[in-house]
Amino acid sequence: DAKTTQPPSMDCAEGRAANLPCNHSTISGNEYVYWYRQIHSQGPQYIIHGLKNNETNEMASLIITEDRKSSTLILPHATLRDTAVYYCIVAKNAGNMLTFGGGTRLMVKP
Partner 1 sequence: DAGVIQSPRHEVTEMGQEVTLRCKLISGHNSLFWYRQTMMRGLELLIYFNNNVPIDDSGMPEDRFSAKMPNASFSTLKIQPSEPRDSAVYFCASSFLGTDNSPLHFGNGTRLTVT
- Contact set with partner 1 (CB under 8 A): 32, 34, 36, 41-46, 49, 93-102
Shortest distance, position 30 Cβ to partner 1, whole Å: 12
* Residue 89: partners with Cβ closer than 8 Å, 6 or more residues away: 1, 4, 33, 34, 35, 36, 98, 99, 100, 101
Q: Left if phi > 0, otherwise alpha if psi is -120 to 50, otherwise beta: which for 29?
A: alpha
Q: How far is the CB of 24 from partner 1 (least distance, A)?
A: 17
Do the beta carbons of residue 18 and residue 84 sit within 8 Å?
no
Nearest distance from C-beta of residue 10 to partner 1, angstroms: 18
Nearer to partner 1, 13 or 46 (CB): 46
Nearer to partner 1, 99 or 109 (CB): 99
Comparing CB distances to partner 1, the nearer of 65 and 93 is: 93
Q: How many angstroms separate the CA atoms of 56 and 63, rounded?
A: 9
Taking the least distance from each CB to partner 1, the nearer of 40 and 110 is 40
Min dist CB 96 to partner 1, Å, is: 6
